A and B are shown apart, each in its own frame.
Chain A
Amino acid sequence: MIDKRGTSCAAAVADIKDGDTVMIGGFGEAGSPIELIHALIDHGAKNLTVVNNNTGSGRVGLAALIENGQVAKMICSYPRTANSLVFPELYRSGKIELELVPQGTLAERIRAGGAGIPAFFTPTSVGTPLADGKEARTFDGEDYVMERAIKADFALIKAKQADRYGNLTFNKTARNFAPIMAMAATTTIVQANAMVELGDIDPENVVTPGIFVNRIIEVSQPQQESTLVKAGVVYP
């Protein structure tokens, strides 16, 4: 029998090891799996490389994971936002490494990682400092740079619905990086707003097929990052 449902976020993240690469879904707070991130803070794995578009806001969720000293390196496209307090300070004091990647290149590197493509050529960043040191080639008269795929040991993502096979749907723009991160990680852990029965999601409407998912935890009332930030909450 295939049943990917687990009982707690804590148990779901318990085998994340020091030094692992962890992809975390979300674009700002939309799609941020905040309960799974807080479980990873409680768990305490260190020296992580984290892949996310941003670096979190306030002192909860991803920002709290960084503040807790668990992240050695961020791979992201936009490390500062209106409420980003934690990352800028650590970065300026040299306590965290940053690999800055254009957003579409980040997405494609993740997708390639999940699709068995080790590298690809893109026109993005040609002629800019972000192309420095990268292999360049010309195809049909246009210049391209080579980018390598990214794979991860774990992906932490948030879904709207999940069934026990791991088939997922998402809510609006909270989908963002989650489907491609699910593909690119050895172990994909999902927090879903609702568990549903097999067949409840029309096969035509499955966004992420269950083959890309390993563990599902139902979090029916997820916390909202902006609400926590507004209330001045600090995790843990």
Chain B
Amino acid sequence: MNNNPTSKHPISNETQAQQIGWSREQMAQRCAQDIEDGNYVNLGIGIPEKVAQYVPAGREVIYHTENGLLGMGTEPSSEELDPDLINAGKKPVTAIPGAAYFHHGDSFSMIRGKHIDVCVLGAMQVSAQGDLANWSTGAPDAIPAVGGAMDLVAGVKTIYIITQHTTKTGAAKILPSCSFPLTGKGVVNRIYTDLCVIDVTDAGLTLIELAPNVNFDYVQARTDVSLINAIK
């Protein structure tokens, strides 16, 4: 038995126990299946960044970073590293052949003007109507910081959320309405959690896919909104 709690390989560590749900990598991998050939895509900081690694071969995708680059590439080698070439998370990146630089006014025209096809973001809370809260807990001593999240959800055509299904303490993150300040109202299209994939539809939150060893009741018990089961 492996007693290392920091191991990044939970599957091999728990061969005796069944793995329940998807890992962070698997959530990113599942989301990546829905990125289409030819899409212009903006990825948020954290798990959403990992989606780029898993887009199926054969699909050409252009990544936008709101600080002024279309055609963001992978992490630079130490020789390629340029502090003037960073992503929205302020990490060093590279530019692919065919990339373009532009100023912030143009960058957010791409966003607000509905030219970006897909944006993948993290969430603190998502409501039954697709409201998103992901920038502030509203705590009085917190320093508010919003960045480009409100612009992205208001402007990008399709908003995908990747999030753990519940908080670290087990509280539901998918709720009848968000208690935290909103990032946007009715903006989320699809939610990828460690347990399932949920579509936000006019009829309500619709479960369309389950992670391994998870069933509908297990998800419903961890969701504060009645889900529609679209799995046959």
Contacts and interface: CB of A to CB of B under 8 A. Distances in A.
Contacts of A30: 67, 83-86, 90
Nearest to B72: A173
Contacts of A171: 82, 84
Interface of B: prevailing SS: loop
Interface string A41-80: 0000000000000000000000000000000000001111
Interface string B13-32: 00000000000000000000
A29 to B, nearest CB: 6
Contact of B151 (A87, A102, A207): A102
Contact of B103 (A28, A82, A180): A180
Contact of A128 (B95, B101, B104, B150): B150
A172 B154 contact: no
Nearest to A170: B101
Contacts, number: 146
Interface residues of A, number: 51
Contact of B145 (A79, A111, A177): A79
Given A29-B83, A172-B85, A128 B90 contact: no
B157 interface: no
Interface in B101-125: 101-105, 107-108, 111-112
B193 to A, nearest CB: 23
Interface of A: 27-31, 77-82, 87-88, 91-92, 98, 100-108, 110-111, 122-130, 170-180, 207, 224-226
Interface of B: 65-69, 82-86, 90, 95, 101-105, 107-108, 111-112, 131, 141, 143-151, 154-155, 181-186
26 contacts: A27-B86, A29-B90, A77-B148, A79-B143, A81-B90, A92-B141, A92-B143, A102-B147, A103-B108, A104-B112, A108-B108, A111-B105, A124-B150, A124-B155, A125-B154, A126-B154, A128-B184, A129-B182, A130-B150, A171-B82, A173-B86, A175-B102, A176-B67, A178-B103, A180-B103, A207-B103
